[in-house]
Structure formats: C-alpha cells, structure tokens
Amino acid sequence: MRYVRTAALALLAACGLAAPFAHAQWQALPDKAPEPTDNPTTPEKVALGRMLYLDPRFSSTGTVSCNSCHNVMLGGEDNRPFAMGVHGQMSGRSAPTVWNSAFYSGQFWDGRAASLEEQAKGPVVNAVEMGMKELDGAMNRVRHIEGYRVAFAKAFGPDAMTVDNAAKAVAAYERTLITPNGPFDRFVKGDKSALSEQQQRGMDLFASAGCIACHSGPAFSGPMLPNGMAFLNKFPTFTDNDYVEKYDFLKDLGRFEVTKNDADKHLFKVPTLRNIALTAPYFHNGAVQTLDEAVRVMAKTQLNRDLSDTEAADLVAFLNALTGEFPEQTMPRLPPTPGTTFEFSSAQ
C-alpha cells in the first residue's frame, strides 16, 4: 500500500497555509460516510455487520468481539493504554476509535490496511486479539449458525457466506458510526454561538500553530487520499525534549514494523481528533492520561513549541467542541445455536 509522509511545518508551508487561517479551511463532518463502489451500504449489510461486530464467538476463546476493544457504547475504544485480547493478553498499542474511521485514508496505527474491509479481517487472526488460526476457521463458525445463513442471504444473496462478504458487512456497519453536528460543525455551518470565546481562541491557535497541517479534513485525521494510500506522519518529530523519554515514544518503530524500511521508522497514521475528549489515554502507546498533557506533548514533539497554560486550556476547550452527536446503538439479538455450542480454547 502506498502512503504519504509529512512533517507538519513542511506541509504547512507547502500548502501555503499561514495564520490567520480563513475559516474556509474548516470542514464539517458529513452526515453520511463515503463508501466504495464495490460495497454500497444497505440496511441488510448493516444489520449483519452489527451482529458480527458484537459477537464474541468468532474469537478462539469465545470472549472477544470487535466491540471488546472498540466499544460503541463508549468513545469507540476501550480507555486502556493497550488493548486486551484473548486470555487477557495485552497488545502493544492503544485501540484507536472506530467512530468516524470511515474517513481515514488507512487503517491501524501503522496504516497497513487500505480499507475498513481489509482492516476487519486482521484482528480475527491476530494471536493476541481474537486468536483464531485462520479466517476460514472463524467463518466456519458463522456458517454453522442458521440465523447467520439467513442474514447473509438477505445481505448478499445465496451462497454468499464468505470471508470477504463478512468483512464487507462489518465495514458497512462501521460506516454508520459517524458523529456529525457537534459544536464545531454547527459553528462552521454558520451558528456563531455554537463555540464559546475560549473555544474560538483555541480554534484559531489550532490553525496558526500548525496543528491543522496534519489534523485536517472533516475528521481531523488528514486528507481523504485516493484508495490504497495512507496519510502518515513522523512521531515524534522533535526528540530533544523531556516528553520523549518520559513517555517512551521512541520504543515503537511504527510503520517500520511492517515494511522494515528505515525511512518508515516512527511513522504513524494521523489519528482523528473527533471525540478526542472521550478517548483517553492518548497516543499509540496510551501513555498520556489527560487531554491537557496531550496537547502540550503534541506542541513540543511535533511543532517544537511550549504552550502557556492559557494556550493549552484554549486548545483543550476547542478539542472538546469536536465531540459530535452519537447515533443510537441498538443491541441486536445474536443468532443462537440451540442445543449445542462451539469448542472454545481455554489454554494459551
């Protein structure tokens, strides 16, 4: 998969963006997420995807679902420094939020998946996450449940119980997980009372300091790039500061872990700032506990700037305005297996 590397200051200059920013640079979150031509969203796919997303039976232990780490009853993650999978194993990175993930140009912290469909397959066969040995083994469990056979037929037609279609259904559900119409969105659309004076100061500082160079676009996660491209940035960019050692930011080599290309060391997908107030702890290693500390860390490690207490408070106030309206989540009745069950793994 191709990707775009960027440094905030260089991109800021290259794009000709400088303070004061015109408010035309700001984008409200659309009411509908983009969808690929080969997987149009339908109610039947969404209903099936919701069931698959919430069903733990497709993990090796029968205890971990997509929702375990990406909880749609919360901020779309689990509020842990590291995600927990089967047998209580801890992954090496914090779970990113699933809310508004349809607006990312790449998935996972290292951008290794080009689409939601591709991403949906990864955790199932990850030894730490859901722990299945192969995707078809998980799919065989689905095939043995009558209710799922009916749901797949409704969503995709007969003889459609494939791994690819399961991933398409999960992705279709995830594309409904968007949170538009937050205070920021209402402000951009013309309601000038939607943001407080402090939030507006934070908004101006977010732009003039250069934060928007990477955290741009409707999801504040960078531009929507052509299919197959991921928007990645080096983190940390400036390493001569106390934060880097305090939070052990150089331990994780980021994209390099996938490509083994030295140029990819410490490259990470630019995360969304939508609903950021709800998704502590922060960064790929979940090392920072508060949003106030997170903005100070970002200013120093990415822009080489020390924030005053007032500036930090203004930025936090603005980021709180990025919390949107969450669509109601109705828990589905999962298809049962009357009189029988699967053989789950009880040993590591």
Contacts of 46 (CB under 8 A, 6+ apart): 169, 172, 173, 176
Secondary structure string (H, E, C) spanning the chain: CEEEEECHHHHHHHCCCCCCCCHHHCCCCCCCCCCCCCCCCCHHHHHHHHHHHHCHHHCCCCCCCHHHHCCCCCCCCCCCCCCECHHHCECCCCCCCCCCHHHCCCECCCCCECCHHHHHHCHHHCCCCCCCCCHHHHHHHHHCCHHHHHHHHHHHCCCCCCHHHHHHHHHHHHCCCCCCCCHHHHHHCCCCCCCCHHHHHHHHHHHHCCHHHCCCCCCCCCCCCCCCEEEEEECCCCCCCHHHHHCCCCCCCECHHHHCCHHHCCEEECCCCCCHHHCCCECCCCCECCHHHHHHHHHHHHHCCCCCHHHHHHHHHHHHCCCCCCCCCCCCCCCCCCCCCCCCCCCC
Looking at the structure, tell me whether residues 184 and 223 fall in a common domain: yes
Catalytic annotation, residues: 129
pLDDT for 50: 98
Looking at the structure, tell me whether residues 200 and 138 fall in a common domain: no
Q: Which among 145, 174, 203 is the end of a domain? A: 174
Exposed, middle or buried, 341 (CB in 10 Å: 0-12/13-18/19+)? exposed
What digits encode the pLDDT tens for the residues 244-261? 999 999 999 999 999 999
Q: Does residue 228 have a pLDDT over 90?
A: no
Which structural domain range is residue 165 located in? Answer: 43-174
Looking at the structure, tell me whether residues 88 and 155 fall in a common domain: yes
Looking at the structure, tell me whether residues 160 and 259 fall in a common domain: no
Between 105 and 216, name the one with better pLDDT: 216
Q: Does residue 13 have a pLDDT over 70?
A: no
Does the residue 340 lie in any domain? Answer: no
Task: Give the global pTM.
Answer: 0.92
Does the residue 343 lie in any domain? Answer: no
User: What's the rounded mean pLDDT across residues 153-173?
Assistant: 97
Domains: count for the chain: 2
Does the residue 281 lie in any domain? Answer: yes
Does the residue 329 lie in any domain? Answer: no
Looking at the structure, tell me whether residues 145 and 187 fall in a common domain: no
17 — pLDDT class (breaks 50, 70, 90): very low
What rounded mean pLDDT belongs to the chain?
92
Looking at the structure, tell me whether residues 22 and 108 fall in a common domain: no
Q: Which among 125, 153, 174 is the end of a domain? A: 174
Task: Give the CATH number of the domain where residue 291 resides.
Answer: 1.10.760.10
| φ and ψ at residue 32, rounded to 5 degrees | -135, 135
Q: Does residue 12 have a pLDDT over 70?
A: no
Does the residue 334 lie in any domain? Answer: no
Does the residue 339 lie in any domain? Answer: no
Does the residue 276 lie in any domain? Answer: yes
Looking at the structure, tell me whether residues 194 and 125 fall in a common domain: no
Does the residue 346 lie in any domain? Answer: no
What digits encode the pLDDT tens for the residues 105-121? 899 999 999 999 999 99
Looking at the structure, tell me whether residues 187 and 166 fall in a common domain: no
pLDDT for 25: 82
Looking at the structure, tell me whether residues 187 and 316 fall in a common domain: yes
Q: Does residue 166 have a pLDDT over 90?
A: yes
Looking at the structure, tell me whether residues 188 and 131 fall in a common domain: no
Listed residue (213, 184, 204) closest to 20, CA to CA:
204
